[in-house]
Structures are given as C-alpha cells and as structure tokens.
Structure 1
Amino acid sequence: MIKRFLLLLVCFTLVFAVFLPQDIGVAATGTVTIAESTVNIRNGPGLSYQLVKQVKKGEKFTIIKEKDDWIQIQLSTSKTGWVANWVVTKPSNGTTTSSSSNSKNMSATANTNQLRVRSGPGTSFRNIGYLNKGQAVSVLDENENWLKISASFGEGWVAREFMDLKSNSTNSKEDNNNNKSIDKGIVTDTLNIRDEPSTKGTIIGKLSKGTTVSIYSKKNNWLEIKYSGQSAWVSSEFVQIGTQSQPSKTTGIIGKVTASSLSVRDGSSLNSKIIGSVSKGQEFAILDEVNNWIKIEYKSGKIGWAAGWYFNKDKEKSSQIAKDSKVTILHNGTNIRKDPTVQSTVLQRVNEGESFHIVSIENDWYEIKLSNGKNGYIAGWLVTTNGTGPGIDKQGAEGYLKYKTIVIDPGHGGVDNGATGSSGTLEKELTLRTAQLLSDKLKAAGANVFLTRSNDSYLPLPSRVRLASIHQADAFLSLHYDSNLDRSVRGMTGYYYHSYQKKLAEYVYNSTNSQTKLKSRGVRSGDYHVVRENQRNAVLMELGYLSNSAEEMTLTSGQFQENAASGIYNGLARYFKEK
C-alpha cells in the first residue's frame, strides 16, 4: 500500500512539473505595445515556429527576454510567447544607443599633431577642437573609421587612423571620495601628466597649452586632476590657477560675432561655466586662441572664452599663417574666384590634387597664390589643408537633418545572403556595414534613426516597409549591392517607384555617386517591394557590383564605405534643405 502511494506521488509530481510555467522566474525588462492591427505570437523566436495566439493593436505585454529580433512576452500567468520586435513599440527613455561594450574601458592617444575633433563622424561635421600628438582621451564609442571621444573641450569624433587605442585597467587609482574640484586652472605650456605627484611618476599623457583643468587637490608643488577617468598629477609650475587671468597680449586679429547670442565661458571648453554673453555683430580683439576657442575681453576688465567657430576674423590673420601652409583641391573643375564670394568672377578652374600656398583667410574663403603670381580665392569647404594650415568647415548639414526620422534598411540578412562577390563577399554583411556607418553620422546630426535590422537576421520585405509606416519616416533608405552574370558590368544605380519618391532618389543618388566616383548608371523607376509598397519617401540604392572583381575590391574598402555613407548623408541633407 505504501509503495503504491509513493509511486502515485512521484507520477503526480512529474505531471505537475510539465505544466509549470517555464520562464516565470526570469526577470522582466519592461513592456511592449502592439503596433499593428493583428500580430501573430509564436512559441519560438522565428517565423517558422508555431502560432500560439493573435493579439490586437494597443495591447501591452511584459517583456521576459529578447533574442536577436524577437521578444519573449508574458501572455498570462502560465503562458508565454514570442513577438517580432518590428511590430511592437517600447516606451521611449529619451536615450540613444549606448556605446559599444568594447569602447567602455578604452582610451586612445593621438599619433599626429593638430588632429581635428569634429561634432560627428565625418569630415562634413563642424570642427570643435584639436588634439596634439601624445594627447590621450577616453573612448566613448567607435565604428570602423571614427572614434567618439571625451576631451577637455567636450565630446567629439576623430579619425580612427590617427589614434592609437589601448584598454584601460579595470583597477582605477581614482579616489572615489574626492570627486569635487577645489579650483580650476589653465595650462601655460605643454605639460606631462603623471600617475603620482613626483617627477619619478610614469608619464600617462600630455596637456596642451591653454587647456582648462579642474583641480581636485594639491600636494607640495603638484596638482591632482582627472585624466581618462582616473586620478592623475601635473606640476603646478605650468598651471595658472583660476581662469580669470589678466589680459594677454593681443594677437592683432579682430573677431566679429556671427551668432545671435553667444555664451562666454571661464575656460576653453563646452563644460566650462558660462560667465557672460556677446551678441551678433560685436567685434573683439582676440587675445589668444586654443583648440578653436577664442579668448576675448568681453567686458571692460573681464576676460573669457567663446567658441571660435562663431567668429569671422579679419584679413590681419594672414600674418599668423605659417609660410608652408597650403590647400589641396578636392574636386576637378573647382573655381578660383577674384573675390571671396560665389558671385565673383572665375579667374581659372583647377583640378583635384593641385596645391596652392595660403596667403590669408577671409570668412569661409582662402586667399591663395596662383601659378601666374596673382592671388585668387577658393571656398574653404572645397579643399583640404596641410598639417599647419588652418581649416575651414562649411556649416549647415546638421541643421537640415535634426529631428528627421530616417529608417535605414540594410538589404538581406540571416538565411538570405543576397549577392555573393567574386571573392566571396556577402551582400548582407556589406549592407549592414554601410548602414551602421550612415546611422552614426545621422545620429550625430540629431536625426531619429531606426535600422530594420542591426545584426545578421532575416526580416520579410513587408515588415521592413511596415517599420517606415510605424515610425512615420521622413525618408526610407534600402541599401544593396548588385550582381550580374556579365562580370564586366559595374556602377551605381538608384531606384524609386512612385513619383513622389523621385526627388529623394535623385538627391541621394547624385550625392553618393559624386562622393564615391563610381560609374553612374543613373536614377530609374524600379518595381521593388520596399519602394513599391512604401507610402513614405523611399529610395533603393544599388551601391555597386560585387560580381565585378575590381569593383568588389573598391566596395569592401574602408575608404569607399566612408564615402558611400557620407554621400548618402549629404544627399539627405540637401533633400531636406530644398524640400
């Protein structure tokens, strides 16, 4: 009798265990809201899994966990299911994608002088400062061509090729009880940063003249600062305590404010305290210039720093230009003009690669010495400068993209490889690579960016189009690479379907083709699902032929990927500017 009872108890326990909810102990990580009229819930993370339930638009569910592009949700106390992340929305927390985990404990050191730090990952972004050789910074984020860094003048992006990366030790020497600064100072000469208050300490970085530092403590003749998130020390001999210094000797240059209202700060960085303001049209003698910040006497007896990119400087600056400063032409057929304006007479046309000595700078134009001995002017955004030449950046692209909603669709993915190149390149991998570079540029400009896929996963074409509708996209960009049985075929093609999409297609295509210099196959109507079924402005870009072995080498290069992303970015900016 007892044996029979025990046997029944064991059987009951086993049967009961089978019907227990399987994931009830997994911590929830938020909620999702169904975004489509009818959505299928499946018993696994994929379209091949069995349908367990249909839910309606507006229903909310608790998230259990996520896997690739699928979310496991709690349907009831004893039932769970999986829903595709492209048919739901999550509550917005106002944050952007976090930095890659690889970047969280990274620092980098500049390996060249006068390295420009920009507001976004691309040469079209505004220049916000400079790094000198040996100067170390913290790395916040990265892609294959650019690093997002934190420097003394704020956050910005630098070209990856000019930085040496290294991992930071997980054991910080920082004293967590000493997080409040007691003073500020300005570095008066190039200054070594050491790991202890002694000349015997290891040099872990350098600070440039004019850098503003926060001081956390003093020990003998040494000052404690924060460097790459750690406690560090510099000699007090080369730091001027306080930022309200006596007027320095003028540089002989007059700066005119171009912003309607411009903040004046107590140091040469966006992190410095605002101590005053100046207005458009006011002119000031420039006392000093550090990392594109200008030191001025903004009121009688009061000295401060203002962002140099909001000043026009008069032609007296020519005396400050090094004798070897040159510009190099970026495009064939560039105009050299008589005066610094696009309405001025064209003196001659020059081609890509030609170089000229800089005579002076006037607003956004370089005055240059021509081969015939005469002087002419060239727009600063049409050239590059050598290491000692002062740079000019054309402003504006960010303004046209800010707050725009862009959906980027990297073609193919998962089981769908797309085209395969003559050397084995997979289209699905290359489209994602381009999309991620483009996404970083658009986010830096303030756009709201959504990728239809962010990893190697399959997504049906209707779901890609649906994302454009869900997010009310201002533009939908489907990125692809082409293939042909005739391996000699090459070039770039842009496609639209509806007439209202043509303008976007032309702007994006023309800009990208000009930037990459591939053979132009033009913009044409194409019967592709992602543009045909799309009620938003949409374009499908075939960015070159993987089947052509020579073109495949070009398409997979870092330079082409950067140019393609920049071309699409600039094309979007021009489209929204003219819209």
Structure 2
Amino acid sequence: MNKKKIIGLICFILLIGLGPMPLLTIGASETVKIGTDHLNIREGPGLSYPVVQKAQKGEEYPFLSEKQEWIEIQLDNGKKGWVANWLVSKKQGTTNSSTQSQSTSNKAIVMDDGLRIRKGPGTEYQVIGTANKGDSFAVLSTNGNWVQLDTSFGVGWASTDYVQLKNTATKNLEDTRSSGTVTSNVLNIRSTPSLNGSIIGKLSAGDTITILSQSNGWTEISYSGTKAWVSSQYVQTDSTPDQSNKQSENVSTQSDKKGKGTVTATTLVVRNTGSLNGKSIGSVTKGQSFTILEEVNNWAKIEFKKDTYGWVASWYLDTSSQNGNLSSKQVLKDSTVTILHDGTNIRKSANTSSSVVQRANEGEAFKVISVQNDWYEIQLSNGGKGFIAGWIVSVNGSAPSIDKSSSTNNLKNKNIVIDPGHGGRDNGTTGASGTNEKSLTLKTAQLLSDKLKATGANVILTRSSDSYIPLSSRVYASHYHNADAFISIHYDSINDRSVRGLTTYYYHSYQKALAADVHSSIASQSRLKNRDYRFGDYYVLRENKNRAILLELGYLSNPSEEILVTTKQFQEVVTNGILQGLVKHFK
C-alpha cells in the first residue's frame, strides 16, 4: 500500500470517529403529515440535494430528526429523506406550541344545556349541533378560548368557558386556585410581596386574575408565565373553585343565548367596548339585573343607565331562565351606525346588486330604522331611507352587530400563507415584562389558521413550532403555494415605552389594497391606536411576487399594551379582524 493510500485511509477513519453533526431528534412515535401535493423528498436537508421521491398531500411518514428548517423522515422503501418543514406538519410532537398540540385533557364535560358546537373557533362560525349539560366529548386540541371536540355531529369547536376539561392536572389546579377581580383603577404587579419589589406590570379595575396564594396582605398571581404579587387590599376574591363551576353552568354561551343577566361580582366595571382595553364608563353592583343586548367573546352589551349602553364581562352575569326575544322596537331604540370607509355605498334595497342612492364617508353616522338580514335600514339626511351592509359599519346603541358569516365563503379554496415572525434562535423583540415575540406570533398565527381553515381556505404556516426559518424560505412558501395572500405576523417595540398601536406594511402597489382592507378591519375591531398602513421595506414583502402584508399588532415595549395583546380576548378579537379583512378583500 503506497503512502497516499495510507494517508487516505487514516483520514477516513478519523471522519468516521467524528461522526455527523448532531440533529434534533424526537421520539419515533412522532409522524410528519405532508401539507401539499407533489412535495419533493430530497436526499439531504436543502434545496440543492437531489429529489429521491415525491409525496402527496395527506400522506404521513415517521419523523426521524430535524435540522434547521428541514425534517428527516423514514420512507416506505427503508430509505430516508428530507422535507421542508414549512410544507408539512408534525403530529404528537414535543416542540409544537401548546395551543396547537394534542390537549393534555382527554375529555371535555359540557357544563350547560344548549351549548352550541361550531364549525370553527369563533362565534361567527356555523353551528353544527348543540350539546347538553353532562355530555362528554374527546378533546382534540385547544386554541385560545376554544377547544376542538370529536362530537357526534363531527369535529367542532366550543368555548372553553362552558366545558370542564377532565384530567388530573386540571383537577389539581381547580383545587388549589381561585379567581379574583381588581378593584383599583391601577394596580401595580410586583416581583416580590413587598412595596420594595420592582413593578413588572399593571392591572386595571375589573381585570380578572388567577389567585395562586394569599399571605400577609399580598396575593400571588401568574403573570407572563412567572409568579408575581399584588396587594390583597385591591383584590376582590370571587368564589371558591366549586362555586365558580356552579356559577358558570348558568352563564350563557357567547352570542348564543340572550336574555337577562344578574351581576354576581361585588362591583363590575362597565366599558365602552367589549375589551379590557375599553374605557371605564361606569359600574354596576351585585344583584342588579340587565337585559343582555349582545354577547361577543365573553363580553355582554347592556343598557346600564337610561339610554346609556356599555360592555361588561359576561362571566360575572348570572342569566335568568326567562330568555325571551327582544322586540325589534326595543333593540333599535336610539341606535346609529357609523361609516368606516370613504365612498361606502348606501343602496335602495338590502342587497349588493341594488342601485346606489348615496355614498357616505368615514365618520358619518345614520339612525337605524330596522334590520333586514345582514343589512341596516337607515334614515338619510334628505329624509329618505336606504340600506347599508352591516358588516362594513360599526353600530352604536342597542342594535345588534352584524358579522356576515356567510361572506366567509369568499375564502373557500384561497391559498393563505401565514408567517409567524421570528422563531428558533431568532426571538424577535422581548416585551417590557419578558414576553417573547416569537412565541406570541406563533400563538396568533395558530388561532388565525384554525379560523381560516374553518372557512374552507387552504392554510399554510411557514412554521408551526419554535423553529428558525430563513426569510428566503418564507417567501419561497408564498411562491410555491401561489399564495392569494401572505400574512406576516409581528409585534412591535421601541425605546419609548409610551408608544403604542397597530401598523400594517406593504411594499409593492399590488399589495396595498390587501393592507388597507386587513388594517381597517383590525383597527375597527381591536380598538388599538391606529398608526395606519404604509410602505415598508421588508424582505418578505419586497421579494414576494404575491399579495403580502406585514402586521405589527401592538407594542410589547409598552407595558400596558403588552398585558393587553397577550390576553385571550385580544387574540380572539385581532384574529377575527384579520379574518374579516381577508373576507372583505376577496369579496
């Protein structure tokens, strides 16, 4: 053997000893589901490797390992291959977000008669059946305020407020925790149970908290994933866990049961909007009863003073058994609609093919005469009458809001790519109290994904776990799937902690209309400060050949806004806003 061969052999042995670079490996029970037709399975983790096989949408393969944005799978022929993780989804994984992974609770017990099971995670979705108190269903997943169930009507969604999740972990939590209501206008959240503890956040009057423990005048709570403390002096303990369950059995489901409600909290704040971000406009006390005019996302609209309307948290209303329908005259008393966009059409009759009798601009208000299907009949300034679509205006007074759920048909078969910003080694920004942007964007994206899927849209997530995805790969997903819309989700940050609000960005002129429609819808529903939609030089927009926008859904650097955007209520509202903005755009 000559000298060159000996040297070559030694090098080969050394290479074997070093072995391959370590990969993220997860249990063999995990599988990978293909998310698109004709997906290339490659020899290695990259687009430069040759294609060894093609896979079809819905096929599943055993998961072997993961390297950056590529997943190694086991093929049927005994060989191995690699697929791009933004084109597949993992099942029974350990790296997926808790909101998307299999729920730890295997059963959900219905706590009220007449609970409506819906097609998607939101009150705007079609009801596929009703369940009664005591019914038990297998839990498939949870997402925000919603739980996905395997029912006799098919797979559907129900509000987590009206089911009891049965497992040991849940039972232990219920046994050791109670809830409370903040009674101070501003309550400091501190790192330790002392006035010397650093302030890490703030709460407002009417906010609800989960109480972990109480001692020496201080209440221990959970805040942004860590334990924190507030003064017990400004916390009203609501009830024991058992009492809470009994109380919630009588609370009506969101937008499903309307009637009278009796206040169960000692003092309940009334807000101008159905959100913790709404301005306090008054208060009601325990024992007072009100007619529930509307219920949306756990908030109830009531007339708390003569001709004065506001919103209260519906979980502090005990509904009476007399749920009679409101008369049309009572519901429409002193109600007006406000125009949200310049050039809005007012039509002769209640349909989009009717002739236009007048056009109105943003901010104009009209008195409501009647409601016909999804349209408001309004009084014009010239004494005449006209009709306006209920889903393109905001309503003031006691008239019901209109959310045209049937219009979501506009999204059927649309290819929507949702891009949760950052991930993996890229944390994004960190909030004033420690919120990671990468985790929050994924949470928002997953809830939005479930809502869009329920409309029949084809939804692709650029990442479904805490993984790093290069910007080029995110744009590639948009092009590969020929996206009808690409939505990149982010949360903002700046050194000035007083800055807050919503901003939407586009780069190309063909992206501007999508930005305008989605932005206006989110702004009208979320009540975030409107920072408008504008040009933005971002890679995922600039290099994107399709309609693409980038959303900055509030400032994590603003302590109060950080608290707001991390709530389930905000996540529900903001994803509804994005959904309705897409519906409007594709109408």
Distance 1:57 1:79, change over 3 A: closer
Q: Which residue of 2 aligns with 1:119?
A: 119
| RMSD (Å), alpha carbons | 5.3
Structure 1 counterpart of 2:492, which letter?
D
Gaps of 5+ in 2: 1-12, 91-98, 169-248, 250-322, 340-345, 379-385
Following TM superposition, by how much is the alpha carbon of 1:424 offset from its aligned partner in structure 2, in angstroms? 0.7
Say whether the 8 Å CA contact 1:410–1:479 is kept in structure 2. Answer: yes
Say whether the 8 Å CA contact 1:103–1:142 is kept in structure 2. Answer: no
Structure 1 counterpart of 2:63, which letter?
K
Which residue of 522, 525, 546 corresponds with 1:515?
525
Following TM superposition, by how much is the alpha carbon of 1:465 offset from its aligned partner in structure 2, in angstroms? 0.7
Structure 2 counterpart of 1:72, which letter?
E
1:393-432 matches, within 5 Å, as 394-432=404-442
Distance 1:136 1:564, change over 3 A: same
In structure 1, distance between residues paired with 2:138 and 2:32: 31
In structure 1, distance between residues paired with 2:350 and 2:127: 22
Structure 2 counterpart of 1:321, which letter?
N
Q: Which residue of 2 aligns with 1:491?
A: 501
Following TM superposition, by how much is the alpha carbon of 1:37 offset from its aligned partner in structure 2, in angstroms? 10
Say whether the 8 Å CA contact 1:120–1:441 is kept in structure 2. Answer: yes
Following TM superposition, by how much is the alpha carbon of 1:67 offset from its aligned partner in structure 2, in angstroms? 3.5
Q: Which residue of 2 aligns with 1:101?
A: 102
Q: Secondary structure of 1:65's match? A: strand
Say whether the 8 Å CA contact 2:502–2:552 is kept in structure 1. Answer: yes
Question: Percent same amino acid at aligned positions?
Answer: 48
Q: Which residue of 2 aligns with 1:321?
A: 325
Following TM superposition, by how much is the alpha carbon of 1:79 offset from its aligned partner in structure 2, in angstroms? 9.0
In structure 2, distance between residues paired with 1:162 and 1:462: 43
Cα-to-partner distance string for 1:110-146 (whole Å, 9 max, x where unaligned): 34x5444332111222344444555544434321211
In structure 1, distance between residues paired with 2:451 and 2:486: 16
Say whether the 8 Å CA contact 1:512–1:568 is kept in structure 2. Answer: yes
1:264-283 matches, within 5 Å, as none
1:37-186 matches, within 5 Å, as 41=44, 54-56=48-50, 60=54, 65-68=63-66, 69-72=69-72, 84-86=84-86, 100-102=101-103, 105-111=106-112, 114-151=114-151, 153-167=153-167
Q: Secondary structure of 2:418's match? A: strand
In structure 1, distance between residues paired with 2:467 and 2:156: 31
Structure 1 counterpart of 2:533, which letter?
V
Q: Which residue of 1 aligns with 2:291?
A: none
Q: Which residue of 1 aligns with 2:207?
A: none
1:405-554 matches, within 5 Å, as 405-554=415-564
Cα-to-partner distance string for 1:403-427 (whole Å, 9 max, x where unaligned): 1111111000111111111111111
Distance 1:326 1:130, change over 3 A: farther
In structure 1, distance between residues paired with 2:459 and 2:577: 17
In structure 2, distance between residues paired with 1:144 and 1:128: 20
Distance 1:59 1:430, change over 3 A: same
Say whether the 8 Å CA contact 1:110–1:131 is kept in structure 2. Answer: no
Structure 1 counterpart of 2:576, which letter?
S
After TM superposition, the structure 1 stretch with the greater mean CA deviation from structure 2, 98-107 or 452-461, is: 98-107
**Structure (1 or 2) with the larger CA radius of gyration:** 1
Say whether the 8 Å CA contact 1:107–1:167 is kept in structure 2. Answer: no
Distance 1:385 1:137, change over 3 A: farther
Say whether the 8 Å CA contact 1:148–1:155 is kept in structure 2. Answer: yes
Gaps of 5+ in 1: 1-13, 48-52, 91-97, 169-205, 207-318, 369-375
Structure 2 counterpart of 1:575, which letter?
H
Say whether the 8 Å CA contact 2:41–2:82 is kept in structure 1. Answer: no
Say whether the 8 Å CA contact 1:477–1:539 is kept in structure 2. Answer: yes
Structure 1 counterpart of 2:454, which letter?
A
In structure 1, distance between residues paired with 2:460 and 2:128: 27
Q: Secondary structure of 1:396's match? A: helix
Following TM superposition, by how much is the alpha carbon of 1:327 offset from its aligned partner in structure 2, in angstroms? 5.0
1:349-388 matches, within 5 Å, as 363=373
Cα-to-partner distance string for 1:7-37 (whole Å, 9 max, x where unaligned): xxxxxxx99x9899999xx899799899899
Following TM superposition, by how much is the alpha carbon of 1:166 offset from its aligned partner in structure 2, in angstroms? 1.7
Distance 1:66 1:397, change over 3 A: farther
Q: TM-score, normalised by structure 1?
A: 0.53
Q: TM-score, normalised by structure 2?
A: 0.52
In structure 1, distance between residues paired with 2:42 and 2:436: 32
Structure 2 counterpart of 1:447, which letter?
A
Of structures 1 and 2, the one scoring higher in RCO (CA 8 A, sep 6+) is 2
Following TM superposition, by how much is the alpha carbon of 1:486 offset from its aligned partner in structure 2, in angstroms? 1.4
In structure 2, distance between residues paired with 1:463 and 1:505: 22
Q: Secondary structure of 1:542's match? A: strand
Q: Secondary structure of 1:41's match? A: coil
In structure 1, distance between residues paired with 2:134 and 2:402: 24
Distance 1:321 1:481, change over 3 A: closer
In structure 1, distance between residues paired with 2:107 and 2:33: 33
